């Protein structure tokens, strides 16, 4: 199973889970020159789908925990950034996770700043420019977050160690033990 996922990565192809979680597709589409790989994907379709659904659930758990709180996103980002060491010229689940968490933290931070400024009675020109800038920042990071989330869901099955770290962190999140170890 993992060999199929690795082969797709080598071919610069990603698995994309459908929005309804009922199926997935390969993007960009595999052509006829990869008939063996297509056959393996077809035979293992349900197992691959289960892996993607599990990965999606793990990512959704982070989203559910952090909600729209930039401080929580920053805490989670800092936890995983601490142990992060990028590998030159290789993009993996760690890169996707760090980039996605950073984008989500920036999105929520921009939203909070916009709300704070919009609640002021008299906006200065500087405040209006700040709102415009934060809106543009939010839009850019939303695109990054969408792409990185999709890539993270597809790459997590190749990195069980990272999945275990995320599971452990999320199960301990908010407990006194986690608060002590994250300092």
pTM, entire model: 0.87
Domain ranges of the chain: 55-181
Burial class of residue 31 (count of CB atoms within 10 Å of its CB; 0-12, 13-18, 19+): exposed
Instruction: Choose among 36, 84, 66, 59: nearest CA to 154.
Output: 59
Chain segment 53-91, per-residue pLDDT in tens: 999 999 999 999 999 999 999 999 999 999 899 999 888
Coil vs helix vs strand at 15: strand
Chain segment 112-141, per-residue pLDDT in tens: 999 999 998 888 999 999 999 999 999 999
């Amino acid at each position: 199973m993992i060999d199929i996922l690795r082969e797709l990565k080598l071919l610069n192809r990603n698995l994309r889970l459908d929005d309804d979680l009922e199926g997935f597709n390969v993007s960009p589409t595999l052509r006829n020159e990869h008939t063996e790989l297509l056959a393996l994907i077809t035979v293992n379709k349900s197992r691959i789908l289960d892996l993607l659904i599990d990965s999606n659930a793990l990512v959704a758990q982070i989203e559910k925990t952090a909600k729209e709180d930039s401080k929580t996103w920053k805490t989670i980002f800092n936890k995983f950034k601490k142990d992060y060491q990028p590998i030159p010229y290789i993009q993996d689940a760690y890169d996707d996770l760090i980039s996605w968490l950073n984008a989500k933290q920036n999105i929520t931070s921009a939203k909070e700043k916009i709300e704070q400024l919009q609640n002021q009675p008299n906006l200065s020109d500087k405040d209006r420019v700040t709102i415009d800038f934060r809106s543009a920042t939010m839009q850019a990071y939303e695109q990054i977050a969408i792409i990185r989330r999709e890539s993270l869901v597809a790459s997590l099955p190749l990195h069980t160690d990272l999945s275990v770290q995320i599971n452990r962190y999320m199960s301990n999140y908010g407990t006194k033990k986690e608060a002590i170890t994250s300092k």
